[in-house]
Structures are given as structure tokens and as C-alpha cells.
């Protein structure tokens, strides 16, 4: 076995050694395969590296197996286990991310596309469609994007979603907080939740009556807007004065 470069070398042959490479060397020489390390130990070894957690994730993308408490329940939350080494990232040419880091099989990709009805989940465009915004030449290309999902129990996992090239470009690794979203949903009124469940069942959002009225109001000429607003105020006032006509939808 050849001697490994030191993980402490920040510069090698006049070139800066990247955080991922140094983290890999640290795991091999300081932790050792099969052993446990904590986030605190990792941060103590790389106090200057703000994104050291990210470097560990990059190693995972290069075949390094580093388990968290989610993969291995015997680990505590702050612990990770360096299970096995992947690509020799300190060797020139070995540090490149694999081309398909999603590494889905053709069948898996097909399943994601099917689940999303072959439509971009962000903008709704189908494959090969024009965007219809003046740029008549651009046709959509559908890809499968990886989404990091923070689960309500605090753990995270990656899920796959159909996304067109335009929506995916520049967005980087998007992540979604499912727990926070559920919390927002819980704070909705029962009526709002029923409406939301209806949209979900239909797969699209129907405008509510109040939104239809608002939409038309917005297009009115100024005089009509003023007249409408005044009439609405009168209606609200008379509703407040006499409860007898609570069901009046006559305005």
C-alpha cells in the first residue's frame, strides 16, 4: 500500500488541496474504516472549513459509505460511521463526481416520469413543448431532479421528481421541509383544509368564488372599482346591522 498524503496538508505541490480530499484522508488515517466519528470531531479537525458536512456528502456521491444514525440505529444522532472507502479522490482524475450521481436505472426513471404524468412538477410543461413566452424556439426537456426532503422526524432522504431543464437550471440542490409544510397545513382552518384536500384530489387548484370576484374586480375601470368597493362596504355594514339576512348572496 502506498503512503497516503497527510490530511493536514492544505497545499500539495503548490496546489490547494480541496476539503473533500482532506476529509477523505482524515477519515482513512484518523478514523479508520469501520470506526465511529462525531460531527464535533470532524469540525474540530477542519475548523476553517465551513462546509465540511457537504464535503462528506460529496464523498458519499463518490462511493464512500458513511452511515448516519438513520442508516444504522446503533449510532447516536451526532455519530457517523466510516464504513468503507470509495474512489481515491486524492489521486488526480479520481475526484470527479460520477456522471449520474442520481444513478437511477432506466426502469426507476420511467417510474418517476409516470408518477408525475410526464410533466414538470414546477411549471407543468410537458416534454418537447414550447414555453410560450416569446421564446418560441426553446422546447422543454424533462429531467429527473433529486430533492432533499427533511422528514417530520428530523431525518432526511432524497426523493426524485420530474423537472424541466429550465426549472432545474440554477436551482442547485433544492430541499423541501416536509415537517414545516405539515405544520403550515395544520394551522389552516378546517374549511381551508377541506379546500386544499379538494385541490389535491383534483390535481389542480380551482379558483375560489372570492378569488373569481377579486380577479374580475381587478380588471374593472376605476369608476367601476370605486362603485364596487362602495357597494361592498354598504353590504358589509348592513350585514353587521341586521343578522337576519346572514345568507344574503344577492350583492
| Residues 148-177, mask of contacts with Zn ion (x by CB under 5 A) | ----------------x--x----------
> Minimum distance from CB of 170 to Zn ion (Å)?
12
> Minimum distance from CB of 124 to Zn ion (Å)?
7
Which residues 172-231 are close enough to bind Zn ion by CB under 5 A? none
Q: Which residue, 133 or 237, has its beta carbon nearer to Zn ion?
A: 133
Count the residues of the shown chain that bind Zn ion, applying the rule CB under 5 A. 5
Question: Which pairs from 235-239 meet CB under 8 Å and 24+ separation?
Answer: none
Instruction: Report d(CA 182, CA 216) in Å as an integer.
Output: 32
Indicate whether 138 belongs to the interface with Zn ion (CB under 5 A): no
> Minimum distance from CB of 172 to Zn ion (Å)?
15
Q: Which residue, 85 or 122, has its beta carbon nearer to Zn ion?
A: 122
Nearest to 23 by CA among 83, 80, 70, 90: 90
> Minimum distance from CB of 131 to Zn ion (Å)?
9
> Minimum distance from CB of 168 to Zn ion (Å)?
8
Q: Which residue, 79 or 116, has its beta carbon nearer to Zn ion?
A: 116
| Residues 20-59, mask of contacts with Zn ion (x by CB under 5 A) | ----------------------------------------
Out of 21, 24, 87, 120, point to the residue binding Zn ion (CB under 5 A): 120
DSSP codes, 111-149: HHHHHTTTB-TTT-PBTT-B--SS-TT-B--EEEEEEEE
> Minimum distance from CB of 104 to Zn ion (Å)?
19
> Minimum distance from CB of 125 to Zn ion (Å)?
5
Out of 69, 88, 122, 143, point to the residue binding Zn ion (CB under 5 A): 122
Out of 123, 141, 196, 197, point to the residue binding Zn ion (CB under 5 A): 123
Q: Which residues in this chain contact Zn ion in the complex, by CB under 5 A?
A: 120, 122-123, 164, 167
Amino acid at each position: 500500500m502506498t503512503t497516503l498524503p497527510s490530511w493536514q496538508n492544505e497545499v500539495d505541490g503548490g496546489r490547494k488541496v480541496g476539503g473533500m480530499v482532506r476529509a477523505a484522508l482524515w477519515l482513512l488515517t484518523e478514523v479508520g474504516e469501520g470506526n465511529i466519528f462525531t460531527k464535533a470531531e470532524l469540525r474540530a479537525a477542519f475548523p476553517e472549513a465551513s462546509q465540511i458536512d457537504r464535503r462528506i456528502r460529496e464523498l458519499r456521491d463518490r462511493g464512500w459509505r458513511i452511515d448516519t444514525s438513520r442508516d444504522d440505529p446503533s449510532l447516536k444522532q451526532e455519530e457517523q460511521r466510516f464504513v468503507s472507502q470509495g474512489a481515491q479522490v486524492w489521486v488526480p482524475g479520481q475526484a470527479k463526481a460520477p456522471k449520474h450521481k442520481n444513478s437511477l436505472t432506466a426502469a426507476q426513471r420511467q417510474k418517476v416520469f409516470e408518477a408525475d404524468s410526464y410533466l414538470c412538477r414546477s411549471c407543468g410543461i410537458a416534454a418537447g413543448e414550447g414555453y410560450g413566452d416569446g421564446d418560441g424556439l426553446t422546447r422543454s426537456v424533462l429531467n429527473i431532479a433529486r430533492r432533499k426532503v427533511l422528514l417530520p422526524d428530523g431525518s432526511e432522504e432524497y426523493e426524485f421528481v420530474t423537472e424541466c431543464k429550465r426549472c432545474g437550471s440554477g436551482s442547485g440542490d433544492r430541499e423541501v421541509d416536509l415537517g414545516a409544510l405539515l405544520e403550515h397545513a395544520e394551522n389552516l382552518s378546517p374549511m381551508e383544509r377541506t379546500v386544499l384536500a379538494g385541490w389535491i384530489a383534483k390535481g389542480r387548484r380551482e379558483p375560489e368564488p372570492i378569488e373569481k370576484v377579486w380577479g374580475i374586480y381587478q380588471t374593472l375601470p376605476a369608476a367601476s372599482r370605486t362603485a364596487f368597493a362602495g357597494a361592498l362596504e354598504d353590504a358589509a355594514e348592513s350585514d353587521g346591522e341586521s343578522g337576519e339576512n346572514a345568507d344574503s348572496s344577492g350583492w
